[in-house]
Structure formats: C-alpha cells, structure tokens
Amino acid sequence: MAAMIVTFGTLLASIFASNFYLGQSQNAIETHKIIKFRNKEETSPEAIAQKVREAEQRVKDQVEAGK
C-alpha cells in the first residue's frame, strides 16, 4: 500500500512539473555535457580515423611547441 501511495504521489507531482525540457543537455546537473546526434558521414570509420589523425597531429604540434 505504501509503495502505491509513493508511486501515485510522484506520478501526480510529475504531471505538475514545469520546465522539464533540458534542451541538448544530458541532465539538469551536468549542463556541460551536450547530446549531439550525428549523421552517418560523421560516424563512418574513415571520418573517425581522420578525426583521430587530426587530434594526434594537434597534440604532436603542441608537444613540439613546448620543447
């Protein structure tokens, strides 16, 4: 019986909740995490490999600049 009261209480409270849309945020606490849906061209193995090469080159350039 107690579980049913709690369940219906939270359900009733959620009906009256306002401003529950989070936009592109993952949740209300971690607002810096953004959900982005990518298309197939951005997630192909070739595109990912290219992004990795670019990131590795940036890191290599930063390390060399620090020497």
Domain ranges in the chain? 22-67
User: What's the CA gap between 3 and 33, in Å, rounded?
Assistant: 34
pLDDT value of residue 6 = 87
Per-residue model confidence as pLDDT tens digits over 10-48: 888 888 777 666 666 666 677 777 777 888 888 899 999
pLDDT value of residue 28 = 66
pLDDT value of residue 61 = 94
At residue 53, does pLDDT exceed 70?
yes
Beta carbons of 33 and 26 less than 8 angstroms apart? yes
pLDDT value of residue 47 = 93
Q: 55 in helix, strand or coil?
A: helix
Distance between terminal CA atoms of the chain? 69
